[in-house]
Amino acid sequence: MVGVHAVPCRIEADLSPHGLPTMGIVGLPDAAVRESAERVRTAVRNAGLPWPKHRLTVNLAPADVRKEGPIYDLPIAIAILQASGTIPEDSLEEGSGHWFLAGELALDGSLHPVRGATALAMAASEDGGQGVIVAHQSVDACRLVPDVPVLGVSHLRDVVDFLARGVGTPRAGAAESIPIPGPTTRIHAVRGQEVASRATLVAAAGRHNLLMAGPPGSGKTMLARSMVDMLPPLGPREAVEVQLIRAAAGLDVQTERAFLRPFRSPHHTASAAALVGGGNVPRPGEISLAHRGLLFLDELTHFRPAVVDALREPLEEGVITIARAHGTHRFPAEALVVAAFNPNRRSGNAGATSCAGTLERIGAPILDRFDIHVELSPPRMESIVMAARSRSGTSMACPRELVAGAHDRAIARQGAANAVVHAGELEGVTGMSRPDLHWLARSVDHLGLSFRAFDTVRRVARTIADLEAAPSVQRNHLEEAISYRRFDRG
C-alpha cells in the first residue's frame, strides 16, 4: 500500500543446483516477510506438494519499495511451485492475463484473509489483470470493484488446482448484490429543537460543515448522528474509495456496512496525527476515515489548538497532504464536518449561557470554515411532550428524500455539492437578482462578516432554494442563510 492505493509487487523465484538447499528473500522485506520462508515451506509440505531441494532465491520487485506484512505468503508459494514445475509455466504468463494474489498461509496450507483486498482488486482492474485470488473471507471486499473476476479459496491446494488444471470458477465483482441497509435513527427523536433540526437538514443537503453550541443534553450528538441517515447510501465508486482508505489505515473491510456513510467521532484528546493522519509510514487519520461521510468533533473547544488548526487544509481543499522524508502522501478528506461545544455560563444568571470567550479557543480561521452555525437552548418540557404527540411514528424517509432531491439538483446543475462550488461560479449558480445581491453585501458589512462568509451565505442560500426546488435564490433564502452566521459576527 502506497497511500490509499495498492502497488503491484512481482514475485520472482529462482532455483539453483549450486549451494545448500536454503531459501532467501530479497527486495526490502520486513521481519514478517522474512518469516514467510518458514511459513511457506511448512505450508507447501503439509499440503502434500513437493518442495524443491535446491537453493531458492525469492525476489520481491520493485526492490526499492519496502514490503510489509504476511500478504506475500500465497504468491511466494505459487512462484516457487511454478519454478519447480508443479504448476505449468504458461499458467502464469502475462500474455494470457496474469492473476493478482494475496494471502497469509497457515502451517497446514489453509489461507487466511489479509487487509487491503479491495485495493488489490482495484489494482487488478487498473493493471488489466485476469482477476484476483484471495481467501474466501475477502471475496465480498473484492466484489466492491465491479467487473473483476474473484476466486475465493480456502487452501493452497485450491489455488494449485485452479492454475494447473483449471478447477474452480471465478466470480465477477457484483457490488450491487451486497444489501444496502436502510436508515436506523429518527431525526424527530430530537424534540423541541426545530431551528437546529432545520439547520442539520440544510447542512446535509448541501454538504455544509456545521457548528453547534448548546448546553449538555440539548441534543447536539443526536442531531449529528441523525445527519448520517439523511445522506443517501454510498455509490459503488464511493464505497470503493472508503474501503481503500480503511485498508491504508490497516482496518478490516466491513462488507455488511460497505454502502453506509462512515461516521467518525474521535475523542477530544486525539493528537494531530490521529485526526489528520501521519506517522513514520503515513496513514490516514480520522478526517480521511470519514471521507464521503461525517466527522463529528464533540467538545471542539477541548481539542488542543494545534490539532484544530490542522483541519484548515482538509476543510478547505477536501484533501490532506502528509510529507515525510521518504515521500509525500495525499489522502482524500471530503468529509462533512460537524462540531459541537458547550457555551460558558453567564455569571450571575444560572440559566443563561454565552459563547463569548469560548469561541476564542476555536479561532477565527477555523470558525470561518464552518458554513452553518446554530445555537441550541434547553427545550421546555411542555414543548417536548407536544412534539412527541405530533411526531410519533414519523420516520427518516421524508428528510432523506428532501436531502437526496436537493443534492441531485445541485449535481445536475454544477456537477458538485453546493458547499464546494467555486466562488467565481456562484453568481451563475444562484441566479440572484441585483437588488438581493446588494442587500446581502450590505448585511455582510453590517454584521462584520468576512468575504469568505459572503460566499458561504450564497452557497447555503442555494441549498435552501434547492430544498424548495426553487430555480433561483430569493430574499427569504438569503435571510435564512445569513441567520446561520451566528458566531463570527463583528
Is residue 1 in a domain? no
248, 215 contact by CB (below 8 A): no
Which H helix or E strand runs over 56?
strand 55-61
466 three-class SS: helix
pLDDT in tens, the chain (490 residues): 888 888 889 999 999 888 788 899 999 999 989 999 999 999 999 999 999 988 999 999 998 888 888 999 999 999 999 999 888 876 665 444 588 999 999 999 999 988 888 999 999 988 888 889 999 998 888 888 888 899 999 999 999 999 887 777 777 665 555 655 555 555 555 667 889 999 999 999 999 999 999 988 888 999 999 898 899 888 888 989 998 999 888 888 777 788 889 999 999 999 999 999 988 878 899 999 999 999 999 999 999 999 999 999 898 889 998 888 767 888 999 999 999 998 876 544 444 556 666 777 888 888 889 999 999 987 666 655 555 555 544 444 588 899 999 999 999 999 999 999 998 999 999 999 999 999 999 999 999 999 999 999 999 999 999 999 999 999 999 999 999 998 987 6
pLDDT of residue 394: 42
340 three-class SS: strand
> Which CATH number covers residue 464?
1.10.8
- Same domain membership, residue 212 and residue 127: no
- Same domain membership, residue 426 and residue 345: no
283, 295 contact by CB (below 8 A): no
Q: Distance between CA 419 and CA 460 in Å, rounded?
A: 7
103, 135 contact by CB (below 8 A): yes
- Same domain membership, residue 155 and residue 200: no
**Among 111, 144, 176, where does a domain finish?**
176
- Same domain membership, residue 485 and residue 442: yes
Q: Distance between CA 295 and CA 315 in Å, rounded?
A: 11
- Same domain membership, residue 159 and residue 217: no
- Same domain membership, residue 234 and residue 340: yes
Which residues, listed in sequence order, are joined to residue 11 by a DSSP beta bridge?
A: 60
Residue ranges of alpha helices (H) inside 357-416 are 364-368, 381-391, 397-414
117, 253 contact by CB (below 8 A): yes
- Same domain membership, residue 429 and residue 368: no
Residue 15 is placed in which grid cell?
Answer: 532455483
pLDDT of residue 300: 94
Q: What's the Cα-to-Cα distance from 208 to each of 291, 336, 338, 370, rounded to whole Å?
A: 14, 7, 9, 7
Other beta carbons within 10 Å of 70: 17
DSSP code, position 259 = T
One-letter amino acid for residue 27 of the chain: G
Residue 361 is placed in which grid cell?
Answer: 479557543
150, 143 contact by CB (below 8 A): yes
β-strands 277-278, 55-61 pairing: unpaired
pLDDT of residue 177: 56
Q: What is the dihedral of CA 410, 414, 420, 426, to 10 degrees?
A: -100
One-letter amino acid for residue 336 of the chain: L
DSSP code, position 307 = H
Is residue 182 in a domain? no
Q: Distance between CA 230 and CA 218 in Å, rounded?
A: 20
Is residue 413 in a domain? no
Angle CA(117)–CA(331)–CA(270) in degrees, nearest 5? 100
Is residue 83 in a domain? yes
- Same domain membership, residue 336 and residue 245: yes
β-strands 283-284, 327-332 pairing: unpaired
Other beta carbons within 10 Å of 30: 11
> Which CATH number covers residue 78?
3.30.230.10
Q: What's the Cα-to-Cα distance from 107 to each of 41, 196, 412, rounded to whole Å?
A: 9, 58, 55
Is residue 407 in a domain? no
One-letter amino acid for residue 212 of the chain: M
**Among 395, 410, 442, where does a domain finish?**
395
47, 161 contact by CB (below 8 A): no
- Same domain membership, residue 200 and residue 310: yes
**Among 361, 395, 429, where does a domain finish?**
395
455, 426 contact by CB (below 8 A): yes
Other beta carbons within 10 Å of 24: 12
195, 377 contact by CB (below 8 A): no
Residue 37 CB contacts under 8 Å (≥ 6 apart), including other chains: 23, 24, 25, 58
Is residue 400 in a domain? no
Is residue 2 in a domain? no
340, 299 contact by CB (below 8 A): yes
pLDDT of residue 357: 64
pLDDT of residue 182: 59
- Same domain membership, residue 362 and residue 229: yes
Q: Distance between CA 261 and CA 322 in Å, rounded?
A: 25
Task: Give the gyration radius of the chain's Cα atoms.
Answer: 27
- Same domain membership, residue 140 and residue 201: no
Backbone angles phi, psi at 323, to 5 degrees: -105, 130
Is residue 409 in a domain? no
- Domain count for the chain: 3
Q: Which residue's C-alpha cell is 431551528?
A: 195
Could you tell me the residue range of the domain that residue 385 belongs to?
187-395
pLDDT of residue 302: 92
115 three-class SS: coil
> Which CATH number covers residue 353?
3.40.50.300
One-letter amino acid for residue 487 of the chain: F
Q: Which residue's C-alpha cell is 492505493?
A: 5
Q: What's the Cα-to-Cα distance from 282 to each of 4, 63, 243, 292, 472, rounded to whole Å?
A: 10, 20, 17, 20, 44
- Same domain membership, residue 202 and residue 160: no
Residue 304 is placed in which grid cell?
Answer: 488542543
Judging by beta carbons within 10 Å of its beta carbon (0-12, 13-18, 19+), is residue 167 exposed, middle or buried?
Answer: exposed
